[in-house]
Structure 1
């Protein structure tokens, strides 16, 4: 994945996460910003407008993935736009068993094989709230990390513009503006709950993968000018889908109504 850094990110080594394509995992330097990003608390309605999931409601509590919904057939493969799987609802996980561990192992396997360092479950056709990553991007190196049921509860006012790409959009790269820092709550592979603060580059990675868990794709967060620059490439992926499946594309960029950017977030 190619990146273009337009502002100096704040980087916490202890919170280091990978980017989602190996092409962007080895930047030359990271320097702390003279003025660290300020976190702000935001209301539930504001978080929803910004595209973030907030604490689950009572109705959401019932939306756990069943054993059948965690079933998969290896080898896993990357789901590409405009497959409707990428827009489907991703259920929360409340069973931390061997099936989940096997899914995580298979996700890491496909991630390494596709030269990635981060991957979300819907990108391999499993609609659950799960992402995996390894900062080193190499099997046997670095640290393999798992996030289950992540929630964003704070975000910085400061935003940074990066040139993003995505394994589900092969060969497409464009600028996306996101908050420089976020605070999240999640569970690990054993179900243990934890909180972590992510800043700069790691926050960027998390937000991209987190968007996948919300059914949001990276072009949803692009300005109209930027979106126009990749329109032909998106149309090519839509045509590829139609030729492969024999079905009409479930969404077309020609019909896209665009987004309204709110404080660096995109709401549809």
Structure 2
């Protein structure tokens, strides 16, 4: 992205994967090439996230099994956090355990209260290979933890009791941004 450009403005919108798609359940591979293809992926992720009105999106949610996610997410003080992380590692969580509503673009129509830590720190790289460290609190910390879960092959429903998890998965409905037949 060049200074002054809107993230995703040169990207393509991709359909998002639903729970039946194996792409959501597979741990993503490390990125090894910080090249034009990676820059294009970051743009496509932003375009796809904005088209679905999301606040975060992981690469496997559009069927690309690599460790990249983007975000445009407020924290609890309504400060905007905008960026991307390549090969993220959740290196620290802390603060209170907060039970709050969580939803996901890959589980459209469903929402559940999920326990997450109120603070999270993620380290990784930007699309050029420069190190980044992102610290979040409140809703933004929830977003960082949620996207890291995706890259490990998980969804928020995995953090629920079996009964609540089944209820969430039954509530999932295809959305305009969903891939046909979940893949």
* TM-score, length-scaled by structure 2: 0.79
Equivalent residue runs for 1:170-181 within 5 Å? 170-181=108-119
Number of aligned residue pairs: give it. 162
**162, 165, 169: which one aligns with 2:107:** 169
Tell me the residue number matched to 2:40.
102
Gaps of 5+ in 1: 1-73, 137-141, 238-242, 246-268
Secondary structure, aligned partner of 1:171 = coil
The alpha-carbon distance between structure 1 residues 171 and 98, as it changes in their structure 2 partners (threshold 3 A), is: same
Q: Is the 8 A contact 2:28 2:151 kept in 1?
A: yes
Q: Is the 8 A contact 1:175 1:226 kept in 2?
A: no
Shift of 1:134: 1.9
Secondary structure, aligned partner of 2:31 = coil
Tell me the residue number matched to 2:16.
78
Shift of 1:117: 2.3
Q: Is the 8 A contact 1:148 1:187 kept in 2?
A: yes
Q: Structure 2: how far apart are the matches of 1:188 and 1:105?
A: 13
The answer to whether 1:122 aligns with 2:65 is no
The answer to whether 1:214 aligns with 2:152 is yes
Q: Structure 2: how far apart are the matches of 1:230 and 1:135?
A: 23
Equivalent residue runs for 1:13-162 within 5 Å? 75-135=13-73, 144-156=82-94, 158-162=96-100
Shift of 1:174: 0.7
Q: Structure 2: how far apart are the matches of 1:134 and 1:230?
A: 25
Tell me the residue number matched to 2:126.
188
Q: Is the 8 A contact 2:19 2:106 kept in 1?
A: yes
Q: Which whole-Å deviations, capped at 9, do the CAs of 1:88-135 have from their partners, x for residues lacking one?
A: 220111211111111111111111111112110000000000001223
Q: Structure 2: how far apart are the matches of 1:222 and 1:143?
A: 27
Q: Which whole-Å deviations, capped at 9, do the CAs of 1:206-241 have from their partners, x for residues lacking one?
A: 11111000001111001345335435325x77xxxx
Tell me the residue number matched to 1:42.
none
Provide the alpha-carbon RMSD of the alignment: 2.4
Q: Which whole-Å deviations, capped at 9, do the CAs of 1:59-106 have from their partners, x for residues lacking one?
A: xxxxxxxxxxxxxxx552101111111012201112111111111111
* TM-score, length-scaled by structure 1: 0.55
Gaps of 5+ in 2: 1-11, 75-79, 175-179
Secondary structure, aligned partner of 2:29 = coil
Q: Structure 2: how far apart are the matches of 1:111 and 1:90?
A: 19
Q: Structure 1: how far apart are the matches of 2:58 and 2:43?
A: 13
From the CA coordinates, give the structure whose radius of gyration is larger: 1
Q: Structure 1: how far apart are the matches of 2:41 and 2:84?
A: 11
Q: Which structure shows the higher strand fraction? A: 2
Secondary structure, aligned partner of 2:154 = coil
